[in-house]
Structures are given as structure tokens and as C-alpha cells.
A and B are shown apart, each in its own frame.
Chain A
Amino acid sequence: DAGITQSPRYKITETGRQVTLMCHQTWSHSYMFWYRQDLGHGLRLIYYSAAADITDKGEVPDGYVVSRSKTENFPLTLESATRSQTSVYFCASTNSGNTIYFGEGSWLTVV
């Protein structure tokens, strides 16, 4: 029972580089989400997707790109990483829109 998995779990990258965080879920959930967690800000929604090929912006989408070609995958790309994007990133999914299931997080450091 894999559930929802994120990779890589830990990543250090340099300013200006492109980084892709992967998210895979085995439940065939319709909805998938990307959140970032920062001290003092809690969980902030970056992007979400209601189904394959349907994505929408959340609260803090600038500097991020997402795609959803398959229901089970929802990668998050930082096209040109900045230090302000140093954060913990959580992928999540749900079918009901209520109970959201989170992955274990990807710790990203931009130096």
C-alpha cells in the first residue's frame, strides 16, 4: 500500500536551476495538490488539479509550473529556483475534497 509518494525527499540545488519534484498516488484520486510549508505561514496551496489535464492556481503559484498528464502523477517544477523557494513541499490527494491525504514531504534547499 504505497499511497502517495514524493521524490526526492531531500534536494539541494543552486539558484537559477530547474528542479522538479515528483508526486505519485496509487488511489486514483481525482484531486491532487501541492502545498509548501514555511514557519509562520503554515500550509500554503501552490497549485491543484481536479483531474488529468486540469490544473489551477492556488495561493502562491508564482515561480512554479505543474502538469497532470496522468491521473496518478502530479509533478511540480521550479523553472528557475530562488532562495525564497527553500521550503518543505507536500503533495496531497483526495477524491472527496474533504479528507486530504498528504505525502511525507520534499525538503528543498536553494543555495
Chain B
Amino acid sequence: QQQVKQSPQSLIVQKGGISIINCAYENTAFDYFPWYQQFPGKGPALLIAIRPDVSEKKEGRFTISFNKSAKQFSLHIMDSQPGDSATYFCAANKGYSTLTFGKGTMLLVSP
């Protein structure tokens, strides 16, 4: 049973456009929702994270939107750039439990 469902699997966005990746979770006990970014040949790295006491968190061009009632959270990349081309993973956990990852979204930003 997959506890974090991520969509789409892949995404192509034009340079300057908005990239949106969505995740849905089932466990209402989750209290930490990070996004990881992975470039080809590298390990994933934390990009941005949110806790359920806020509905939105913004860091530069990256924003997490969180909807607790719908059990969904999404990553928005504004003014997408070719350098943003990577695989993005959402994840969730509670306290010190291990992170449960989504299956990933391959983003390609075309020049």
C-alpha cells in the first residue's frame, strides 16, 4: 500500500512557465512533508519542507502548498528554468519515523 501518491510521473514545461507536482497522502498522522530534488547521477537533496500548521511555504521560486483537509500537498516552481530539470520526490513522515517517498516526477524544462 503506497502511502504517498505522486503525480505526474513526468512533466515538460517551457522555460519561464510554472511547474506543478502534486502529492496525496493517506496517513493523517504525518506531520512533516519535504520535497527532494535529484539531478542525474546525484543523490536526492532536500529542497523545501512544510509542516501542517501552515498552508503555504515559499523559498525563492519554490512554493509548497498544503491542504490538510484534502490530504494533499504540491510543489510549484515559478519561472521554471532549464537548470530545474531534475527528478522531484515528495515525502512524508511523523516524528522520527522513516520518510515515505512518492515515486518521483521527472521534470524537463525546455529552453
Measuring CB to CB, which residues of chain A are less than 8 angstroms from any residue of chain B? Answer: 33, 40-45, 48, 58, 90, 92, 96-105
A105 to B42, CA, bound (A): 7
Q: Name the prevailing secondary structure of the B interface residues.
A: loop
Task: Report B-chain residues with C-beta under 8 Å of the C-beta of A100.
Answer: 46, 99
Interface residue range, chain B: 20 to 34
Measuring CB to CB, which residues of chain B are less than 8 angstroms from any residue of chain A? Answer: 6, 32, 34, 41-46, 49, 89, 93, 95-99, 101-104
Task: Report A-chain residues with C-beta under 8 Å of the C-beta of B96.
Answer: 96-97
CB atoms of B89 and A42 under 8 A apart:
yes
Chain B's closest residue to A41 (CB) is: B103
Pairs across A and B, CB under 8 Å, 6 listed? A40-B103, A43-B89, A43-B101, A97-B93, A103-B43, A104-B41
Task: Report B-chain residues with C-beta under 8 Å of the C-beta of A40.
Answer: 103
A44 to B104, CA, bound (A): 11
Task: Report B-chain residues with C-beta under 8 Å of the C-beta of A44.
Answer: 101
CB atoms of B46 and A92 under 8 A apart:
no
Task: Report B-chain residues with C-beta under 8 Å of the C-beta of A92.
Answer: 43
Given A48-B98, A98-B49, 12 new contacts (CB under 8 A): A40-B103, A42-B101, A44-B101, A45-B98, A90-B43, A92-B43, A98-B32, A99-B34, A99-B49, A100-B46, A104-B42, A105-B43
